[in-house]
Structure 1
Amino acid sequence: MDTSQKTGKPPRRSPRLVSWQWATPEAQAILATRNLSAILKYYRRVHGDSQTQTGELLGYDKTYVSALELGKRHLNDVGSLRHVAERLSLPAHVLGVTDPADADHRAMLQFGQSTVRLAEIARQSGHATEAVAELWPLVARLEARARDGNTEREVLHLLAHARLGLGTALGNVLPEERLATAAHWTAQSLDVVRIFDDPALTTTALRMHGNELRKSGLVGAAVHRLTHAAAIAPNQTERAAVLPLLARAAGTLGNQTLFDRTMEEAHQLLDEVDHTSLVNPTALYEIHLRGLIATGRAEDAIQRAEASSPTPTMSIAPQWRVIELITSGRVRLLAGDHRGATELLVGAVREARAQRLPHQLQRALRAAGDVLPDARESAEQALTQLRTEMAA
């Protein structure tokens, strides 16, 4: 039986639709007035409701709704205001009602923002598993609020960042066959991001989602998202953050023209923006080597690797060290240096095992192939151990 039949109340709209409509900039400006007349008119316009339909939702007749909109009648008692807020999926304080849950709500926002920041620090420092453990409960709590319709713009903003963080952290700790889960969470963030009309946030979401798509094997879709992110980036810093990932996806796709053009611009921007874990000479060096191999230019990769490698301009995140070791091992193998390749790959396996990075262990396993048995055995053992722990 429908809930409305049990309670006698008309069915409520989808919380996702209602709450997200309230999160738009236009709605926020109207809510800021705390004017019930304006709020009711906006609600009806967005949903295409008549005064009769809105009255049915609120339990009022059409005449009373009309009087409220015209300012001829006013709601002053706390019970009525709280009732209207609940039926319209609004926090009670918007209509001037002090809600005991407000303090908890504000505390959750502050706690959530700190959680997202600390989780990203943990992921960058090689503790992606801990990041997932912190972000998952936060995402679940925020999504529960969204399902109930009790949400605001700042809550949805936090939800977008939390989903992105969770997806990216999962992209570090999941094996390749499960990386679609990481892409799922970053995709979920895009559903929220679209309502904000914020180029920087949209660029970030597209960038992170595009990278997870690449890792899950959807390379064409990844290039599409990353190209879009680069095109709408509001400044050089945001664009610089996209280009390395776009170059990597273009290389994986075998698009030599896009790869070369993107790498050239990425190197040019190094002198114009602050360096980050992704935008720095060391990261671009690894991306360039891998892209050269992927686009059929192994000799160029070997020559570049044999030349002096760039001087690090900042501390490199542990997972980047693993990525670099695997790529360098591949180059050494292409150059015929089996011993050097084995040393690099075994070192990568050791660090990937310590950091619980199954995807990188799988990369190392592929790089070793049948020609580097010691590296292959090391990667297989580490991957088996990690799978066993993940299944426990």
Structure 2
Amino acid sequence: MWSDPGAAQALGSRDLATILRAYRAANRLSQEALAAQLGYDKSYVAMIETRKRNPGDVAGRRHIARALGLPFHLLGVTDPDDADFAALVQFGDSVIRLAEIARQSGRVVEAVNELWPLAARLEARAAEGRLERETLYLLAAARLALGVSLGTVLPEERLPGAAAWTGKALVLARHLDDDHFLATTLRMHGNELRKAGRLRAAVARLEHAVAVSTTSAARGVAFALLARAAGEAGLPDLFTEAIEGCQQRVDAGSGKELLLNPFTLREIHARGLLALDRPLDALKVLDAAAGAPAAPQWQVIERVTTGEVLAATGEQAGAEEALASAVATAEHRRLPHQLQRAVRAAKHGSLPAVVDAGRSALQRLRGLLSPAA
């Protein structure tokens, strides 16, 4: 409830009378009901709300804060954990930004290792019901960043776990009254749903992301992810519409996001055409020059897609070269589900040497990513 803008304003006042009235209004409680919750007489609650009484003792204020799910410092008292938690919150945004830089530069395991302690500490605090609006933003951002990073580094059978984290971020984003953050969360959650095989749900989230995006660049990124989901879901008209929407923004130079990049868009376009059973059209798209990848993992993704397309069009030698390159780089970058894609493509294209190499690499990665005994 403290994510509500009105309630957040009451918290910002640091005034106990205002906070109690806001709590009762949000929960539709009478003074008598609130008094019962706090273990006070109704008359005492009434006097606090009219400022005729002001509990000044530390124990009393801690009791009220605990009962209402408030951080203690909002009522002017401290908790032994508050100083450490305040430092965590102060640097939380920086942790998330640095983790995102690490992920985009191909150091995904490092990103997960940075995000996990932050997310775990925030989740523990949330379980106590003691997060104010600003910290709820941080929790939502940590959930989102962790889910996206896990979605990059986990094998396919564990990708629903990544989607679960981005879904938990979306639960908060819907309450924070911030269209930009909501659009970002919808995009990332939709993409993780797609990777986990929940294509219709992914399409729904990504169409919503397009609708609520507040900038041309954000809408372009949403279109790019929607194109991928629509292709895999077998929706040709929506796929074409989304590709065109993204292409327009790439041509206009609408932003520097990873997905508003000619190399990335070419891969998305080709993979969608292949999913729609148009391998020759996909090959034509891949034949066009598109510059360099915006992030190291996109080189692996593009190599797998190229191998899939070449195998589908009967170009065995080219497919084997592309997929062998993808296997080696995916193992180096610790991208197990790209290895799984490469193995499937090699198996479908009757390339046993690549299948064996991919399975061996995947087994080695699984060992690295499994919890210690």
Q: Normalization by structure 2: what TM-score?
A: 0.94
Residue 101 of structure 1 deviates from its aligned partner by 4.6
Paired position in structure 1 for 2:192: 212
C-alpha separation between the residues in 1 aligned to 2:73 and 2:186?
A: 34
- Kindly provide the amino acid, as one letter, of the partner of residue 118 in structure 1: L
C-alpha separation between the residues in 1 aligned to 2:295 and 2:253?
A: 22
Match of 1:182 among 143, 155, 162: 162
Paired position in structure 2 for 1:29: 9
Match of 1:288 among 255, 269, 293: 269
- Deviations for 1:169-198, whole angstroms, at most 9, x for unmatched residues? 111111111111111111111111121011
Task: Tell me, yes or no, if structure 1 residue 333 matches structure 2 residue 305.
Answer: no
- Kindly provide the amino acid, as one letter, of the partner of residue 113 in structure 2: A
2:197 partner SS? coil
- Report the more deviating stretch, 100-109 or 42-51: 100-109
Residue 231 of structure 1 deviates from its aligned partner by 0.6
Match of 1:147 among 124, 127, 150: 127
C-alpha separation between the residues in 2 aligned to 1:321 and 1:242?
A: 21
- Deviations for 1:345-372, whole angstroms, at most 9, x for unmatched residues? 0000000011111100010011111521
Match of 1:276 among 257, 261, 274: 257
**Contact residue 224 and residue 265 of structure 2 kept, 8 A:** yes
Residue 283 of structure 1 deviates from its aligned partner by 0.2
Which residues of 2 match residues 369-384 of structure 1 at below 5 A?
369-370=347-348, 371-384=350-363
C-alpha separation between the residues in 1 aligned to 2:269 and 2:198?
A: 21
Paired position in structure 1 for 2:171: 191
C-alpha separation between the residues in 2 aligned to 1:178 and 1:390?
A: 11
C-alpha separation between the residues in 2 aligned to 1:108 and 1:160?
A: 15
**Contact residue 269 and residue 285 of structure 2 kept, 8 A:** no
Q: Normalization by structure 1: what TM-score?
A: 0.90
C-alpha separation between the residues in 2 aligned to 1:95 and 1:304?
A: 61
- Report the more deviating stretch, 122-131 or 210-219: 122-131
Task: Tell me, yes or no, if structure 1 residue 103 matches structure 2 residue 67.
Answer: no
Unmatched 5+ stretches in structure 1? 1-20
Match of 2:285 among 279, 284, 304: 304
Which residues of 2 match residues 1-392 of structure 1 at below 5 A?
21-97=1-77, 101-270=81-250, 271-306=252-287, 308-312=288-292, 316-370=294-348, 371-391=350-370
- Kindly provide the amino acid, as one letter, of the partner of residue 56 in structure 1: A
Residue 139 of structure 1 deviates from its aligned partner by 1.1
C-alpha separation between the residues in 2 aligned to 1:81 and 1:181?
A: 39
- Report the more deviating stretch, 102-111 or 214-223: 102-111
- Deviations for 1:64-97, whole angstroms, at most 9, x for unmatched residues? 1112222332333444333322322222332334
**Contact residue 282 and residue 310 of structure 1 kept, 8 A:** yes
- Kindly provide the amino acid, as one letter, of the partner of residue 332 in structure 1: L
- Kindly provide the amino acid, as one letter, of the partner of residue 318 in structure 1: P
- Report the more deviating stretch, 179-188 or 36-45: 36-45
- Report the more deviating stretch, 26-35 or 70-79: 70-79
Residue 200 of structure 1 deviates from its aligned partner by 0.7
C-alpha separation between the residues in 1 aligned to 2:290 and 2:298?
A: 15
**Contact residue 88 and residue 118 of structure 2 kept, 8 A:** no
**Contact residue 302 and residue 334 of structure 1 kept, 8 A:** no
C-alpha separation between the residues in 2 aligned to 1:95 and 1:316?
A: 48
**Contact residue 135 and residue 166 of structure 1 kept, 8 A:** yes
- Kindly provide the amino acid, as one letter, of the partner of residue 269 in structure 1: R
Backbone CA RMSD of aligned residues: 1.7
C-alpha separation between the residues in 2 aligned to 1:262 and 1:303?
A: 19
- Report the more deviating stretch, 375-384 or 356-365: 375-384
Among all aligned residue pairs of Structure 1 and Structure 2, give the percentage whose two residues are the same amino acid: 50
